[in-house]
Each structure stands twice: as structure tokens, then as C-alpha cells.
Amino acid sequence: MDIAQFFDRTVKFLVKAVFVLMGVCLELQIVACWLSRIRLSTGEYIEFLLVLGAVSVIAYFIRKRRSLSKDRNVPRHGVERTPLMPRGRSRT
């Protein structure tokens, strides 16, 4: 890979990373604004954060369970296969 392709791929990656980080920051700001409007006591706030954390952990395990991780562990690219030999008499 030449240097121009390397820089092209690096710039594309950095642009995508900036947009993803900006989106995450925007979402966190919206959630923080929403949470600041809700008047909760300290105990209720801690309970809310614990429930939110538990829901995210459960969602992670559900997503992991539904994904086809068993099929993804099989190497597919670059693996050499044995060629099929014709059936019948063998040529020697």
C-alpha cells in the first residue's frame, strides 16, 4: 500500500471518528439535560442509574446471544481448500 492510500484511509477514519464522537457527545448532552429536569432525591437518582446500568448489561448479553458468534469464529478468508478430485478410476 502506498503512502497516498494510507493517508486517504487515515483521513477517512479520522472524519468518521470525529462524527461518531460528536454524535455521542450530543446524545449525552440531551440525556444530561433530560435528567436535570427530573427532580429526584439522591437515593432515587442512584437507583435510576443502577437500573439504567442493569438494563444496558442485559441488552449487551441479549445482543451477544442473538449474534452468530459461533459462525464468526471460523476462519474463512485465506484458507486453502482441498481440491475436489474426480470420482471413479484414479489416474496414476
For 5, the enclosing helix (H) or strand (E) is helix 3-37
**Where are the chain's structural domains?**
3-66
- The 10s digit of each residue's pLDDT in 31-52 is 888 878 888 888 888 998 899 8
The Cα 69–Cα 58 span in angstroms is 17
Of 44, 63, 62, nearest to 52 (Cα)? 44
Q: Which one has a higher pLDDT value, 69 or 47?
A: 47
Q: Which of 8, 27, 28 is nearest to 16 (CA)?
A: 8
Rounded Cα–Cα distance for residues 28 and 42 (Å): 20
pTM for the structure as a whole: 0.42
Which contiguous run of DSSP H or E holds residue 17?
Answer: helix 3-37
